[in-house]
Every structure is written in C-alpha cells, then in structure tokens.
Amino acid sequence: MKVGIIGSGGREHAICQSLIKSRKISKIFCFPGNAGTSEIAENIDLDLEKFEKLKEFIIKNKIELIVIGPEKLLVEGLVDYLEKFNIKVFGPNKKASQLEGSKIFTKKLCEKYNIPTANFGIFDTKIKAKKFLETVKFPSVIKADNLAGGKGVYICNDKKESFIAIEEIFNGKFGEAKSVLIEEFLKGEEMSYFIISDGTNIKSFETAQDHKRVLEGDNGKNTGGMGAYSPSRLENIKLEEKILKRIIDPTLKGLKDLNTDFKGFLYAGLIIVNGDPFLIEYNVRMGDPECQTILPRLKTDLMEILEACVNKNLESKKIDWFEEKSLCIVLVSKGYPEKFKNNIEIKEISGLKLKKDQYIFHAGTKIMENKIYSNGGRVLNFVVKSHNLKDGRNELIKLIDNLNWKNGYFRKDIGFKIIK
C-alpha cells in the first residue's frame, strides 16, 4: 500500500517511522518531508497551496491514503478537496478544523455546550481590548484568534505587558488577526489529552505533558514545544472520565449539531485545577512534540488504526501500548523562538550511535550536497522509551552533547515535574 504524509516536521518524521514498520506499507511519499524522512520515504517538493497539483500527483502515483500533519492545510480545507476525488484522507474537514482555526469558534462552542473553560472576552479592535484590560485582574491570558503555530499566546503579569501583546497581535506578528481573545488565568497543571476518531467512534490515544517555554523551569517565551513526556503524571481513570464526559463528548455533539463530524486526531490542551479539567484549546492533529513522544509507545500497527478510521470501523480496533514511558527533548536553533540562523551544517549526526529504544526525529532539517543542514527553529527531536525517565533523559543529554552542534540549544529539565 502506498501512503502520503503531508508535512515537514518532527511529527511527520515520527508518523513515517511508525508507518514504515507496517507490513501493509509498500512505499511512503512525504510532502515535502525533511532530511530524516528522506531515509525512509520519497520526499516530494510540491507547492502544497496548489491543491490540484497535489491531487494529480496522488492519482498518478496511486497513493491509497493521505495523512495530513499540519493544521494550516486542514483549516484551509484540503481534506474536503481531496475527498471530492474519492481520495482517502486521514484528518478532519474544514468545518471541524475550526476547533483549532478559530479560538473564538471554540470558545463559543464551550459556552453553548457548557464545556468547562476559562472566562473570556472577545475584542475586534485594539481600543476595545485595552479598555477591557483596564478592568481585569492579572495575570491574564491573551490569544490571537488565528493560527499561530502554538506561539500566539501571552500570559501577561501587568497592564504594560498586556498592551504590548495587543499591539503585537493586531500588528500581524502571527498573521492577520481580526479579533483577540482575553481570558482569565487558571492556576493548575497542563496536560495534553488525545483521542482518535472515525467520525462516529472515538478511542483514547494517550496523554502527554508538553513544555512550551523556551527556558528551564518553564520560564521565558512560548514556543511550539521544547519537549514532552508521556504519559502525563496527572493521568488517572477518574480524570479521564471527566475529560470525556465534560469536554470531548459535548464538543463532538456540538460539531454534529453543525452537521459535521470529526475524523482524525483531536488534541485537547487542558489545565487541571483541583482535579477538574478545563479546556485551554483544541488542536485538530497530533501535537508536536507530543506525537514524537507518544508514537514510540504504540504497540498496535499505526497503519491498521488509520485504515480503521477512514473506513469508519475504529470501534472494532484494539489499540495497545508498551508499558514504558517516553520522553522527548527538542534541539532548537540558538535564538529560537525569536531570530535564529538557518543553513548551519549538523556535521556529527551521522556518527551518533543510538541505543535500543532511542530515536532521533528530524524537524527543521534539509539535505544540500549530501550534507544535513538546519532549516527551522526546532531542528531535531531526541526521544527515549524507558521504565526510568531520569536515566533515559540523562542518556539523551549525553547523546545531544555528543552531537556537539554549536548552533543548538535545548532544555535539560524536560519532565522535571515527574523526575525527582
């Protein structure tokens, strides 16, 4: 079976790596892929904004399933377009993707279906937003309504910081934002909860805890993710029951009431306050770096799971997991998430020797003249599966040190809340 993976990050490399283990797979195409995917798939450099070109390639090469990694193409309706030509696609349609495409859409859904979330206000001008901020208690949370690659969120400690956030959002730092969301700050611990759905049936797809801040101790600016571990230390049966009953089920009912369903991965970013879950936001795809962290723990053939989803028979598919935990450290370019240099050679990567249950997933990398170069803020993901996360993390740190990439930076404290 031929499969196409759309995306170029660590998430897509991890998906490729999981799929290539399946006996059902004869070939993987990656659009556009990266230096890591090129070792196990054929990278195809197409303009992904031109849906017709992609469709023609899929049909010509008899690709039987397309898996879409990044949120932007989901929000723009690539699933809807390809399905018009009877191409099987794993991922939600345009309407369902509004769960991530518009934070305001999701907040209004929460309001209508009594889904627990932070109190909020929506403002379409700088003046209205700043006037409201004169009245709030700090800290407060300010979010751009549009897609922002996980970085359009500010936690502001005072009026000055909040005014700067408003200016940056409305001035287009994260693309065009017609509105801004201002929320109360909820004090608790964050958790990433994943489900997979075929449009009717859902199954849990594990949990993780992401580390979004660039500096150790969860300090500094927000990023797309500096690392993660799985499962979350907060995970328990009682909490999962609350998440499903109070958040996931009413969300899917809300979509049904809008005459659509949800097919694909749904990622609920949660904050747990005194044992109760509150929704922070939804992502309509696997998280990054959570995907790289979770997939090595998957025992069941991923291809069989994806097939069950697109064929609407997920209910019959049992999903099994290895007992070990996992942890991911992201190596980023110095300066990330602000200014950083690209096209820096990563010389020693081919010499690294991985032990059993250690993985390197490429993110911002590319090949030029048979050499590997950096090509983004988040460059490489170092992952370990282990019963002992402290020892596993120490081994990853040694591995990164052996890489000796002078242009890189990474956090050495990933998992600090669970590793003592």
Q: Give the model confidence (pLDDT) of 353-402 as tens digits.
A: 999 999 999 999 999 999 999 999 999 999 999 999 999 999 999 999 99
Fold of 325-409: Glycinamide Ribonucleotide Synthetase; Chain A, domain 4 (3.90.600)
> Position 361: which residue type?
F
pLDDT 10s digit of each residue in the chain, 420 long? 999 999 999 999 999 999 999 999 999 999 999 999 999 999 999 999 999 999 999 999 999 999 999 999 999 999 999 999 999 999 999 999 999 998 889 999 999 999 999 888 889 899 899 988 888 888 999 988 766 555 678 889 999 999 999 999 888 887 777 788 888 889 999 999 999 999 999 999 999 999 999 999 999 988 999 999 999 999 999 999 999 999 999 999 999 999 999 999 999 999 999 999 999 999 999 999 999 999 999 999 999 999 999 999 999 999 999 999 999 999 999 999 999 999 999 999 988 999 999 999 999 999 999 999 999 999 999 999 999 999 999 999 999 999 999 999 999 999 999 998
Confidence at residue 148, expressed as pLDDT on a 0 to 100 scale: 57
Place of tokens 């009413």: 250
Confidence at residue 103, expressed as pLDDT on a 0 to 100 scale: 86
Query: In this structure, how many other beta carbons lie within 10 angstroms of the beta carbon of residue 252?
Result: 21
* 378 membership: H or E segment, kind and range: strand 378-386
Using the Cα atoms of residue 270, residue 271, residue 272 and residue 278 in order, give the sign of their dihedral.
negative
Of 12, 65, 413, 415, which is closest to residue 216 (Cα–Cα)?
Answer: 413
The phi and psi torsions of 372 (rounded to 5 degrees) equal -100, 130
Confidence at residue 176, expressed as pLDDT on a 0 to 100 scale: 75
> Domain limits of the chain?
2-93, 119-184, 189-316, 325-409
Sorted by sequence, the CB contacts under 8 Å of residue 386 that are 6+ apart come out as 324, 325, 326, 327, 357, 392
Pairing of strands 27-32, 2-7: parallel
Fold of 119-184: Dna Ligase; domain 1 (3.30.1490)
Q: Distance between CA 202 and CA 199 in Å, rounded?
A: 8
Confidence at residue 146, expressed as pLDDT on a 0 to 100 scale: 66
Q: Out of 3.40.50.2300, 3.40.50.20, 1.20.1250.20, 3.10.20.30, which CATH number does the structure's domain 2-93 have?
A: 3.40.50.20
Q: Out of 1.10.287.3610, 3.90.1150.10, 3.30.470.20, 3.30.420.10, which CATH number does the structure's domain 189-316 have?
A: 3.30.470.20
Structure tokens of 116? 């627990």
User: What are the contacts of 267-271 at 24+ separation with CB within 8 A?
Assistant: 267/192, 267/193, 267/194, 268/192, 268/193, 268/194, 268/195, 268/243, 269/190, 269/192, 270/190, 270/191, 270/192, 270/193, 270/243, 271/186, 271/188, 271/189, 271/190, 271/191
Confidence at residue 325, expressed as pLDDT on a 0 to 100 scale: 98
Q: What is the model's pTM? A: 0.92
Q: Are 333 and 365 in contact (CB under 8 A)?
A: no
Confidence at residue 172, expressed as pLDDT on a 0 to 100 scale: 83
**C-alpha dist (Å) from residue 232 to 19, 215, 413:** 24, 20, 15
Confidence at residue 189, expressed as pLDDT on a 0 to 100 scale: 95
Q: Are 282 and 251 in contact (CB under 8 A)?
A: yes
Confidence at residue 21, expressed as pLDDT on a 0 to 100 scale: 96
Number of helices (H), then strands (E), belonging to the chain: the values are: 13, 22
Confidence at residue 151, expressed as pLDDT on a 0 to 100 scale: 62
pLDDT digits (tens, 9 = 90+) for 126-147: 989 998 888 888 899 998 876 6
Sorted by sequence, the CB contacts under 8 Å of residue 257 that are 6+ apart come out as none
